[in-house]
Amino acid sequence: MLSTREIHQHLTNVLEDTAFLGFPGLIRGKVRDRYDLGDKLMLITTDRQSAFDRVLAAVPFKGQVLNQVSAFWFEHTRDIVPNHVIEIPDPNVTIARKCEVFPVEFVMRAYLTGTTSTSIWKNYQGGARNYCGHELPDGMVKNQPLPKPLLTPTTKDDLHDELVSAAQIIERGMIDADTWARLETIAGALFARGQEIAAANGLILVDTKYELGRDKDGDIVLIDEIHTPDSSRYWLREGYETRFVKGEEPENIDKEFLRRWFVDHCDPYHDEVLPEAPAELVAELSHRYMQLFEMITATTFEPALDRPIRERMLQNLAKYR
């Protein structure tokens, strides 16, 4: 893992866009770019750091961290469910099978926490005792373990994800009952595996989301990403109980400081042009992503430093032209 001082030397060697690759049919997401290669997909995880529905900065090695964390988890869960990975030809790139995606996100939660309007804690704090079809007891407090891990699905919407229950999903004809039962079992098993490995590595996997689909043969397949720092909430295991008893927030490797800097220095929702993120904050965020990689996987992060990122990717992906 590089120090923040070493990361400063790579602040301009970042992957902000992939148009230079020259592949047709780019679909640009917040962090990932997708190309349709006919019978498969090319998924490229960039270094973009997004919030407030816009890009705040490009963080060195972030894309590599996210792509390789997913690769780690795909490998460690393939006995539970097949995944979409065909190969990983570049640290930032996954070549994946095409799938018909199920129209919900499979959100697993093990703790009563969260800050957004759809989070389980905000709903509970507001008086809700039924959350996505699950009955919750009175008297619970923030950051308390739930009686058992819960699958709390949401619909997929470009503007607003909707919390739904299993019964609503089946009633609306989004997924049939038998298939839902299989998907629920898969999501629960994936989360249990994630919790087990995270605990062994000094972490608590608090909540996460999965995406699942069917391949051309009709088999259920795990797609997208899995247990990454961007799709999951992790707390440090050591000290959780003590902090919970004291009413303190659990300790984590916080990635929100860059977001807070923008809130303090501009109106990120409305200002047409945002200030440039300070280099020292970008380097610190890069370091924290690497730190999370090493804690999640219990392996050493090896940043790809042999060539400039664009040169490397042009060579590694040439065979797909």
Domains of the chain: 4-99+256-320 (3.30.200.20), 100-245 (3.30.470.20)
State the pTM of this model: 0.94
Which pair of tokens denotes residue 102?
Answer: 């199920």
Tens-level pLDDT at each residue, the chain (321 residues): 899 999 999 999 999 999 999 998 899 999 999 999 998 999 999 999 998 888 999 999 999 999 999 999 999 999 999 999 999 999 999 999 999 999 999 999 999 999 888 899 999 999 999 999 999 999 999 999 999 999 999 998 765 679 999 999 999 999 999 999 999 999 999 999 999 999 999 999 999 999 999 999 999 999 999 999 999 999 999 999 999 999 999 999 988 899 899 999 999 989 999 999 999 999 999 999 999 999 999 999 999 999 999 999 999 999 998
